[in-house]
């Protein structure tokens, strides 16, 4: 009669009181969570500030210029100017980051409808640069960054949204005129023009018989006032060697004045080959030298002393990329002096308090030297744009961070863009929550679920000081202290929603799953074999059995036939009418069609009743034959009856003490041959 084995198991949840939902390790892994670049004018992150490790490929078609999608991450910006230059620097001689072969793509649209923008892409080592002109001011754009060969690593991101100057000429006569001190990026600087010795006699000309320029770009401007001027030139490729010379033409716009006598500042140091390394160059307020020579003379750092511009003077700047390649640079200006051209600024005044159904703003422009105007008011505005100076009263019916942009055109083709960013806060709808059962199961997980609201923050409060800033927090039902009212408030752009609450007022006893089996477990059985299950669960009224072999049952006390070899664990989940449940996993049942044979290795046929005979214990054999041999191979015993025992005799006479050998042959219930051989020692 089989023994009964009784097991009862309480499922204990070893969890924290409050569970944090899993979050992507890369927050900007998908377009919907793109990292905003709020200051897109001459923006540059620190080395290694971003990475794409643990990112996953987005469900967005592969860009035409990419060999594969890889581990992509997303950024976004609102255009405040017409052109954008984006540079991603990976591993560049220990600078930039660790990413190999970065990729860039620019999109318009939104995170549902994507418009892949054709742009100019350049790659130099582990530096990728994207240029796109003709942006729509006030529109949101998305930057997608990945790498070839599924590479991942850290990277530096630089982006400059600027109004393009006229294409800088390679000679003074075709110089681009600068109308303001806005930073800009010059791309594809190639060639020295018709005269490659315009910088003769300056620090750019160490060898008089050779060209003084390699890849030149010329710029001119007129000082609007007397004041200081500084600038910084940063190469788009970190290892590029940038040199420059600045000329003062006085009040005459004449390129014949390009001469050493009018060169007031010059810098030609080879910082990218020096120790310490430097690649930026320009004028600042701290330096005292007026000229830096080629090479690595002691004390040079790429910067010379600022200049004091004189109102009305015309200045010409020659920038030379000494390194080979189609690379460029970014220039940013400083100081109290300004360039002649239109000027503009925007004042934004809220006319309505925030958190209503809509919000009105007054947008005023302060403009000097303007001829024509173009406003862009941003997403959700009552009017998209205007060609009058204003002021304008604009109503916004969508919440968020808005950017109003004013483009002013002046004389000589000069234009300036002013923009102002401000926040529109509108009344939030009452948050939608998905209500679970009002009753709570002890030791179960209470899930407080709220529908997502873009750019919102969540705050839950509840019994016993419970608080959470998660949208859908989790907590363990410990007992009556979990019952009560849970209240959610949502905040977006400074506006707080009306509260919504969930009340849980019933505590339900959780079932206790338990069962026994016949035969008891663990057990090894030959197929097919029927196992009986006895359900001992408490506080339950329905069940799901999982027998471990792919079969299930909802019976209370089922029987199950195991037909295939394997090791099986049995799972019982017990439910009650109010959906509380408890699960127990118990095992094991081993099903094997292989026969097992046990044979002793010593007998003592002395008549004392202990180990007097050699008996083989065998399971699941259909046919059986055993033979015993002495050390010389003579057969001394044979039988086909599994119950026969060898008593240590031959021809009814005791055999001498020695080691003997047995061979067993047969077939199991599956008609597979079974063989076993071994030694048996006879001792008196």
Structural domains of the chain, with CATH: 34-162 (2.60.120), 172-333 (2.60.120.380), 343-424 (2.60.40.10), 433-508 (2.60.40.10), 596-682 (2.60.40.1220)
Residue 4 confidence (pLDDT) above 60: no
Residue 7 confidence (pLDDT) above 80: no
- pLDDT tens digits for range 62-108: 999 999 999 999 999 999 888 899 999 999 988 899 999 999 999 99
pLDDT of amino acid 578: 63
**Contact, 400 vs 423, CB < 8 A?**
yes
Taking residues 525-531, what's their average pLDDT?
84
What are the residues whose beta carbons fall under 8 Å from the beta carbon of 133, sequence distance 6 or more? 82, 83, 164
Residue 157 confidence (pLDDT) above 90: yes
**Contact, 358 vs 397, CB < 8 A?**
yes
User: What pTM value is reported for the model?
Assistant: 0.58
What does the alpha-carbon distance between residue 583 and residue 575 come to, in Å, rounded to a whole number?
A: 9
What does the alpha-carbon distance between residue 639 and residue 656 come to, in Å, rounded to a whole number?
A: 21
Biggest CA pair distance of the chain: 138
Residue 22 confidence (pLDDT) above 50: no
- pLDDT tens digits for range 653-676: 999 999 999 999 988 877 888 888
What does the alpha-carbon distance between residue 223 and residue 312 come to, in Å, rounded to a whole number?
A: 5
Residue 592 CA neighbour count, 13 Å, CB half: 11
Average pLDDT along the chain: 88
pLDDT of amino acid 325: 60
Residue 416 confidence (pLDDT) above 60: yes
What are the residues whose beta carbons fall under 8 Å from the beta carbon of 393, sequence distance 6 or more? 351, 360, 361, 362, 363
Residue among 506, 684, 519, 507 at smallest CA distance from 608: 684
- pLDDT tens digits for range 369-410: 899 999 989 888 999 899 999 999 999 999 988 889 998 988
pLDDT of amino acid 598: 76
* DSSP characters over 157-198: EEEEEEPPPSPPBSSGGGPEEP-S---EEE-------S-TTT
């Amino acid at each position: 009669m089989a023994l009964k084995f009784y097991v009862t198991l309480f499922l204990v949840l070893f969890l924290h009181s409050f569970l944090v939902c899993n979050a992507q390790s890369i927050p900007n892994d998908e377009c919907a969570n793109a990292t905003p670049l709020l200051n897109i004018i001459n923006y540059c992150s620190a080395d290694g500030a971003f990475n794409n490790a643990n990112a996953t490929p987005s469900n967005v078609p592969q860009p035409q210029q990419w060999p594969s999608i890889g581990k992509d991450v997303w950024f976004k910006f609102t255009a405040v100017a017409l052109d954008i230059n984006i540079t991603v620097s990976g591993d560049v001689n220990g600078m930039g980051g660790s990413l190999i072969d970065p990729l860039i793509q620019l999109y318009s649209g939104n995170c549902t409808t994507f418009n892949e923008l054709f742009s100019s892409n350049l790659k130099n080592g582990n530096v990728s640069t994207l240029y796109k002109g003709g942006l729509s001011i006030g529109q949101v754009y998305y930057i997608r960054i990945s790498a070839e060969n599924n590479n991942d690593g850290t990277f530096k991101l630089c982006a400059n949204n600027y109004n393009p100057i006229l294409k800088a000429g390679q000679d003074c006569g075709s110089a681009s005129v600068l109308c303001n001190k806005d930073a800009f990026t010059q791309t594809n600087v190639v060639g020295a023009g018709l005269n490659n010795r315009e910088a003769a006699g300056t620090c750019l000309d160490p060898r008089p018989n050779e060209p003084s320029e390699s890849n030149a770009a010329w710029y001119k401007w007129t000082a609007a006032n007397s004041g200081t001027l500084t600038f910084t030139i940063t190469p788009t490729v970190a290892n590029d060697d940038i040199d420059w010379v600045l000329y003062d033409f006085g009040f005459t716009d004449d390129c014949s004045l390009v001469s050493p006598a009018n060169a007031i500042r010059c810098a030609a140091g080879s910082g990218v080959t020096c120790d310490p390394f430097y690649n930026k160059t320009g004028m600042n307020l701290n330096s005292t030298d007026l000229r830096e020579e080629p090479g690595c003379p002691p004390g040079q750092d790429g910067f010379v002393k600022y200049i004091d511009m004189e109102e009305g003077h015309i200045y010409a700047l020659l920038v030379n990329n000494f390194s080979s390649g189609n690379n460029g640079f970014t220039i940013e200006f400083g100081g109290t002096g300004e360039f002649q051209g239109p000027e503009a600024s925007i004042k934004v005044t809220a006319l309505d308090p925030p958190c209503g159904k809509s919000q009105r703003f007054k947008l005023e422009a302060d403009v000097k030297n303007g001829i024509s105007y173009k406003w862009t008011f941003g997403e959700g505005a009552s009017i998209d744009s205007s060609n009058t100076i204003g002021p304008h009263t604009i109503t916004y019916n969508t919440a968020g961070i808005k950017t109003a942009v004013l483009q002013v055109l002046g004389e000589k083709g000069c234009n300036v863009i002013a923009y102002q960013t401000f926040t529109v806060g509108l009344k939030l709808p009452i948050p939608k929550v998905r209500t679970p059962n009002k009753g709570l199961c002890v030791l179960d997980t209470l899930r407080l679920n709220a529908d997502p609201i873009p750019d919102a923050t969540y705050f839950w409060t509840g019994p016993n000081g419970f608080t959470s800033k998660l949208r859908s927090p989790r907590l363990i039902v410990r007992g009556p202290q979990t019952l009560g009212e849970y209240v959610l408030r949502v905040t977006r752009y400074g506006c707080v929603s009306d509260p919504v609450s969930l009340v849980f007022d019933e505590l339900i006893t959780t079932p206790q799953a338990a069962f026994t089996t016949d035969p008891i477990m663990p057990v090894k059985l030959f197929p097919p074999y029927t196992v009986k299950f006895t359900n001992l669960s408490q506080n339950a009224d329905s069940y799901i059995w999982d027998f471990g072999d792919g079969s299930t049952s909802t019976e209370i006390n089922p029987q199950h036939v195991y037909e295939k070899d394997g090791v099986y664990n049995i799972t019982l989940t017990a439910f009650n009418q109010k959906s509380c449940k408890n699960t127990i996993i118990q095992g094991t049942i081993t099903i094997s069609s292989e026969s097992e044979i046990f044979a002793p290795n010593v007998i003592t046929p002395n008549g004392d009743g202990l180990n007097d005979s050699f008996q083989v214990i065998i399971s699941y054999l259909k046919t059986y034959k055993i033979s015993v041999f002495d050390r010389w191979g003579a057969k001394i015993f044979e039988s086909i009856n599994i119950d026969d025992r060898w008593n240590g005799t031959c021809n009814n006479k005791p055999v001498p003490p020695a080691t003997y050998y047995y061979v067993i042959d047969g077939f199991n219930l599956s008609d597979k041959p079974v063989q076993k051989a071994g030694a048996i020692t006879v001792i008196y």
